[in-house]
Structure 1
């Protein structure tokens, strides 16, 4: 019971923190970005859209987040369905390469995951937020050290948002919810592709 109350308090605190974040709007031009994925491959939105009909771009918090791992596993389990619609899947996270590897081990993710080392991709998509010191300390008490996980002391996390970007580079669909437990279902993503 104590754990449930702590979890609810943590959700409430994080929801208040990200309330100001809005993300981008459907129909707006998706910010271009380039990053390096877990295999050392350069991944760019521009190049992905040259060779695919759409990009499913999602942001996740880290390997320590069970909701992120569940969502990534669902994307991986349905990857053939997504690629059958000519979609290229890209995950973006602030966590280090070492922790991305842990995510992949937990989820068997076979798509590109890019470390957002300077938070520039999260900022461009309007999903970044700074964790306040009290919440950072609470997380540390749960054994989650963002400084170690992300390799910096910025305490930045993304709202776990998902964007579908069409061939023209416009945002066709957005799932943006400050409640980190809520994610876009694969069924919904498939219906939007």
Structure 2
């Protein structure tokens, strides 16, 4: 019973912090970004939009998050359907490259995942929030060391948002929900592509 109460308190605290963020809206120009994925491939939104009809950009918290892993597995299982619509799928996370490897091992993700080392992409898309000390301590009690997972002491996490960006660079679809348990379904993504 004590663990259930702590879990509920944790959800409330995380949701209240994440509520401070709004994300970007449909019709907004998608901020340009670049990075290197887990395979050493240089990724640039601008270059991808020249090669593909759209980009599915999603943010996830880390390999320790069961909801993130479930969502990544669903994306991987539907990757052929997404790429058949000429979409390029990219995950963005604050976790270190070693932890990205753990995510890939857990989910079999075959699409690009970029480490947002300085939180630049998360900030540009308005999905970043900083975990407070009480929540950080609770997470540590559950065996989750955010500082070690992300390789820094900023304690930044993203709201697990998903954006579809069309060839013109405009945001065509947004799923932004501070409740980290809710994610954009593959069915919805396919209908929006």
SS in 2 for 1:58: strand
Q: Distance in 1 between matches of 2:2 and 2:54?
A: 44
Q: Which residue of 1 aligns with 2:28?
A: 28
Q: Distance in 1 between matches of 2:108 and 2:5?
A: 32
Instruction: Note the aligned Cα RMSD (angstroms).
Output: 0.6
Deviation at 1:2, TM superposition (A): 3.2
Structure 1, unpaired ranges of 5+ = none
Q: Distance in 1 between matches of 2:4 and 2:108?
A: 29
Deviation at 1:80, TM superposition (A): 0.3
Is it true that 1:82 corresponds to 2:82 in the alignment? yes
Question: Could you report, residue by residue, the CA deviation over 1:11-32 in whole angstroms, capped at 9, with x for unpaired residues?
Answer: 1110111111000010000000
SS in 1 for 2:113: strand
Q: Please give the residue correspondences for 1:94-113 in structure 2 after superposition, counting only pairs within 5 Å.
A: 94-113=94-113
Q: Distance in 1 between matches of 2:6 and 2:62?
A: 20
Deviation at 1:8, TM superposition (A): 1.5
Q: Which residue of 1 aligns with 2:128?
A: 128
Deviation at 1:3, TM superposition (A): 2.9
Using structure 1 for the length normalisation, give the TM-score. 0.99
Structure 2, unpaired ranges of 5+ = none
Q: Distance in 2 between matches of 1:81 and 1:137?
A: 41
SS in 2 for 1:157: strand
Deviates most, 5-14 or 177-186: 5-14
Question: Could you report, residue by residue, the CA deviation over 1:82-138 in whole angstroms, capped at 9, with x for unpaired residues?
Answer: 000000000000000000000000000000000000000000000000001111111
Q: Which residue of 2 aligns with 1:154?
A: 154
Q: Please give the residue correspondences for 1:173-188 in structure 2 after superposition, counting only pairs within 5 Å.
A: 173-188=173-188
Deviation at 1:5, TM superposition (A): 2.4
Q: Distance in 2 between matches of 1:152 and 1:117?
A: 9
Structure 1's consecutive aligned runs of 4 or more residues displaced over 3 angstroms after TM superposition are none
